[in-house]
Amino acid sequence: MTESRQTQQRPRHPHTARARRSSPPVAATTDNHLLIEGARKSFGGTEVLKGVDLAVAKGRTTAIVGPSGSGKTTLLRLIAGFEAPDAGTISLDGQPVAGPSDWVPAHRRKVGYVAQDGALFPHLTVGQNVAFGLAGRGGKAAAGRVAELLEMVSMDPSYAKRRPHQLSGGQQQRVALARALAREPALMLLDEPFSALDAGLRVATRRAVAATLSEAGVTTILVTHDQAEALSFADQVAVMRDGKLAQIGNPFVVYTRPADRATAEFLGDAVILEAWMEGSLATCSLGGIPVRRPPVQGRVLLMLRPEQIRIAEDGPIHGTVVDTDYFGPETTVRLQLEPLALSKDPHQPKGGEIISIRHWNAMLARPGVRLSLRVVGEGVAFPFA
Ligand SMILES: Nc1ncnc2c1ncn2[C@@H]1O[C@H](COP(=O)(O)OP(=O)(O)OP(=O)(O)O)[C@@H](O)[C@H]1O
Ligand 1 centroid distance, CA of 71 (Å)? 6
Taking CA atoms only, the protein residue closest to ligand 1 atom 13 is 69
Amino acid 88 reads: G
Cβ-based neighbours of 366, under 8 Å, separated by 6 or more? 321, 324
pLDDT at 267: 92
Helix axes 169-182, 139-152, angle to 10 degrees: 130
Ligand 1 centroid distance, CA of 384 (Å)? 32
Ligand 1 touching residue 153 (CB < 6 A): no
Ligand 1 touching residue 225 (CB < 6 A): yes
| CA angle at 106 for the pair 173 and 12, rounded to the nearest 5° | 115
Full set of structural domains in the chain with CATH = 3-256 (3.40.50.300), 269-383 (2.40.50.140)
Ligand 1 centroid distance, CA of 319 (Å)? 44
Ligand 1 touching residue 69 (CB < 6 A): yes
Q: In whole angstroms, what is the distance from residue 190 CA to residue 174 CA?
A: 12
Q: In whole angstroms, what is the distance from residue 196 CA to residue 385 CA?
A: 38
**What are the backbone dihedrals phi and psi of residue 109, each rounded to the nearest 5 degrees, phi first?**
-95, -5
Ligand 1 touching residue 48 (CB < 6 A): yes
Ligand 1 centroid distance, CA of 243 (Å)? 10
pLDDT at 36: 97
Ligand 1 centroid distance, CA of 234 (Å)? 23
pLDDT at 380: 97
Taking CA atoms only, the protein residue closest to ligand 1 atom 29 is 69
| DSSP-assigned beta bridge partners for residue 291 | 379
Ligand 1 centroid distance, CA of 43 (Å)? 9
SS (H, E, C) 196-247: CCCHHHHHHHHHHHHHHHHHCCCEEEEEECCHHHHHHHCCEEEEEECCEEEE
pLDDT at 97: 97
pLDDT at 181: 85
| DSSP-assigned beta bridge partners for residue 55 | 35
Atom number of ligand 1 nearest to Cα 77: 18
Stretch (H or E) spanning 42: strand 32-43
Q: What share of the chain is helix, strand, coil (3-state, %, to 5)?
A: 25, 35, 40
Ligand 1 centroid distance, CA of 79 (Å)? 15
Count of positions (residues) in the chain: 385
Taking CA atoms only, the protein residue closest to ligand 1 atom 1 is 43
Stretch (H or E) spanning 357: strand 354-359
Within 58-206, strands assigned E span 61-65, 87-92, 95-99, 102-103, 111-114, 187-191
Atom number of ligand 1 nearest to Cα 243: 14
pLDDT at 204: 80
pLDDT at 12: 44
Ligand 1 centroid distance, CA of 85 (Å)? 14
Ligand 1 touching residue 74 (CB < 6 A): yes
| CA angle at 333 for the pair 364 and 331, rounded to the nearest 5° | 70
Cβ-based neighbours of 309, under 8 Å, separated by 6 or more? 271, 286, 355, 357, 373, 374, 375
Ligand 1 touching residue 41 (CB < 6 A): no
- Digit-by-digit pLDDT tens for the chain (385 residues) are 333 333 334 344 444 333 333 333 334 445 899 999 999 999 999 999 999 999 999 999 999 999 989 999 999 999 999 999 999 999 999 999 999 999 999 989 999 998 877 678 999 999 999 998 776 655 666 778 898 888 877 789 999 999 999 998 888 888 988 898 888 899 999 998 777 777 777 788 788 888 888 888 999 999 988 888 889 888 999 999 999 999 999 999 999 999 999 999 999 999 999 999 999 999 999 999 999 999 999 999 999 999 999 999 999 999 999 999 988 888 899 999 998 876 667 778 888 899 999 988 777 778 999 999 999 999 999 998 7
Ligand 1 centroid distance, CA of 257 (Å)? 28
Give the burial class of 158: count Cβ atoms within 10 A of its Cβ; 0-12 exposed, 13-18 middle, 19 or more buried.
Answer: exposed
Q: In whole angstroms, what is the distance from residue 31 CA to residue 60 CA?
A: 11
Residue pair 164/178 in contact by the 8 Å Cβ criterion: no
Taking CA atoms only, the protein residue closest to ligand 1 atom 4 is 43
Taking CA atoms only, the protein residue closest to ligand 1 atom 26 is 68
Q: In whole angstroms, what is the distance from residue 125 CA to residue 259 CA?
A: 48
Taking CA atoms only, the protein residue closest to ligand 1 atom 12 is 48
Give the burial class of 347: count Cβ atoms within 10 A of its Cβ; 0-12 exposed, 13-18 middle, 19 or more buried.
Answer: exposed
Ligand 1 touching residue 73 (CB < 6 A): yes
Q: In whole angstroms, what is the distance from residue 193 CA to residue 239 CA?
A: 18
Specify the 3-state DSSP secondary structure of 139: helix
